């Protein structure tokens, strides 16, 4: 039970700002979001997964967000909307606004470019020459922005983000701590036993409304730019290689690795720890299950793919793995048997 806090709205206020239909007392006051199981007075909960529908009868929430076909499952005040989960996200943002730092430049910052008066720049930030920083940006402690880089208006860089020279970040982007944008791609040419470094002369171009999780790295292009489309959401500890092109509104979960020159169509979804080989293309609206390895391009849009054994006991898993190791020999035996049968059929 969270109780009523400093920020609160009536259901009618919420619906006026976010839409949806209010059923029951529209003057019910809401101060926080919560789950059906933990909600108390002043909380609004939501039902997005039908397996929790029985919790509607026992929840202590003051109100619930529901889809139209579940609206009658709760007798108390409620907001009815087609997408309860997205609506809950917007209510959570309304009730929990981000802290806004007071504009200004910390005296320890080193800045070689002109920045707008509306920008917040924290301690020990370094901004190089010919950098463009948009209005209202928030650049937290320890960030480094290289020469010629661009950060669009309203973007937030949390502590210790590194944006290398010439890289461009769109408007309203969020980069969490430890993100590295524009480090050299992994490009080396073999020369005998040596490896000759290939200069990486492209950049990274990030669209508007992109969020990138902590300690994710996106390499600059070898020749052309690495592209992250508008609206992409990228989790923590993701590695995106040089010259990848990520389509708008794609989602990439944590610990995914993507080799160079991979192309994702619009609104692809990659589960956690996915591994994508280089020089492949995934069609729009492709979904890859977590821990899958993608070794070929996917050309048909809208598919859902997986490439791992389901969880099993160790003994069964090892038995299946041993069978797979023998598949090549088994295929050869089948081919030989088919050949022998064909020969006997011709002789007969």
Q: How many whole angstroms separate alpha carbon 6 and alpha carbon 211?
A: 28
Taking a C-beta distance cutoff of 8 angstroms, is the pair 292, 310 a contact?
no
Q: What is the dihedral of CA 72, 78, 84, 86, to 10 degrees?
A: 170
Cα angle, residue 37 at apex, residues 76 and 58 outer, rounded to 5°? 45
Q: Which of 140, 176, 242, 267 is catalytic?
A: 242
Residue partners of 161: CB distance under 8 A and separation at least 6: 140, 143, 144, 175, 176, 177, 178, 179, 180, 181
Give the residue among 318, 231, 245 at the shortest CA–CA distance from 278: 245
Question: With contact defined as beta carbons under 8 Å apart, do 223 and 244 qualify?
Answer: no
Helices 84-95 and 11-18: crossing angle in degrees, nearest 10, is: 110
Look up 165 and say whether it is catalytic.
no
Contact 47, 69 (CB under 8 A): no
Report, as residue numbers or ranges, the catalytic residues.
242
């Amino acid at each position: 039970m969270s109780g009523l806090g400093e920020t609160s709205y009536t259901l009618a206020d919420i619906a006026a700002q976010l839409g949806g239909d209010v059923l029951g007392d529209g003057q019910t006051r809401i101060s926080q979001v919560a789950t059906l199981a933990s909600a108390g007075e002043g909380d609004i909960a939501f039902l997005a997964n039908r397996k929790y529908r029985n919790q509607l009868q026992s929840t202590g929430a003051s109100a619930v967000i529901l889809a139209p076909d579940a609206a009658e499952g709760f007798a108390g005040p409620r907001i009815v909307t087609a997408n309860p989960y997205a609506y809950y996200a917007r209510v959570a943002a309304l009730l929990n606004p981000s802290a806004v730092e007071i504009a200004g430049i910390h005296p320890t910052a080193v800045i070689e470019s002109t920045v707008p008066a509306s920008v917040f720049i924290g301690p020990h930030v370094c901004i190089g020459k010919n950098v463009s920083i948009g209005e209202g940006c928030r650049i937290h402690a320890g960030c480094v922005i290289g020469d010629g880089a661009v950060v669009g208006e309203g973007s937030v860089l949390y502590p210790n983000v590194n944006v290398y020279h010439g890289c461009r970040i769109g408007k309203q982007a969020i980069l969490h701590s430890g993100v590295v944008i524009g480090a050299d791609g992994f490009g080396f040419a073999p020369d005998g036993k040596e490896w000759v470094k290939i200069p990486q002369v492209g950049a990274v171009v990030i669209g508007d409304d992109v969020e990138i999780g902590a300690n994710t790295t996106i390499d600059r292009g070898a020749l052309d730019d690495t592209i992250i489309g508008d609206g992409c959401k990228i989790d923590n500890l993701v590695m995106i290689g040089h010259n990848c092109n990520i389509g708008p509104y794609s989602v990439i979960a944590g610990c995914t690795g993507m080799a160079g020159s991979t192309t994702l169509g619009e609104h692809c979804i990659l589960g956690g720890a996915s591994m994508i080989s280089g020089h492949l293309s995934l069609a729009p609206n492709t979904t890859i299950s977590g821990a899958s390895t993608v070794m070929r391009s996917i050309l048909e849009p809208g598919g859902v793919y997986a490439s791992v054994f389901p969880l099993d006991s160790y003994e069964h898993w090892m038995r299946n793995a041993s069978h797979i190791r023998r598949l090549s020999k088994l295929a050869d035996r089948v081919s030989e048997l088919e050949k022998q049968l064909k020969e006997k059929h011709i002789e007969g």
